Amino acid sequence: MTQAADWIATSQEVVAQTRARLHETRTLIALNHRLLNPWWSLSGSSDHDVDGPLLQSVLDRLHRGALILAPSKAWAGRGTGRTCIVCAETTSPHQVENEIAINGGGVTVKLWAHSSCFNVWRRASEVYAQRHPTSTDSHFG
């Protein structure tokens, strides 16, 4: 009987340790959501800041025809080291990267953008379309 009692006591101790580790793990995950996925956290700025320098840069490029209006469809995944069409920096594996396919004239061109940059591009496209309603049709491929 003592062997069974020892086994039960050991099992209960292991279960208690496992539960404590599980609680610690869940706490660490909750504290590190920003590292796991930066889009789950708050940031110090807003992608909808109409006066932001990146937004103004995208608006300028849209006006000059150096950039097309942001498409409504994109595929997202881990960064692959491609150059972002919006900020011209590369995406690292811990960042979310959007892949955009532009079809026109029988040719498909692929572009990449950080998620935050893609949001700025979309916002700039909305602003541009509101300011230039007759010229937006020529920007879609």
**Are 10 and 73 in the same domain?**
no
Residue 37: predicted pLDDT: 54
Residue 118: predicted pLDDT: 92
Tell me the residue range of the domain where 18 lies: 2-31
**Are 79 and 11 in the same domain?**
no
Identify the helix (H) or strand (E) that includes residue 110.
strand 107-114
Rounded Cα distance, 59 and 65, in Å: 10
pTM of the entire predicted model:
0.59
**Are 25 and 91 in the same domain?**
no
The three-state secondary structure class of 27 is: helix
Query: pLDDT tens digits for the chain (141 residues)?
Result: 688 888 888 888 999 899 888 888 877 766 665 555 555 444 444 444 445 888 888 999 999 999 999 998 899 999 999 999 999 999 998 889 999 998 888 899 999 999 889 999 999 999 999 888 776 554 444
Per DSSP, helices labelled H in 1-141 are 2-31, 33-36, 53-64, 115-131
- Please check whether residue 84 lies inside any domain of the structure: yes
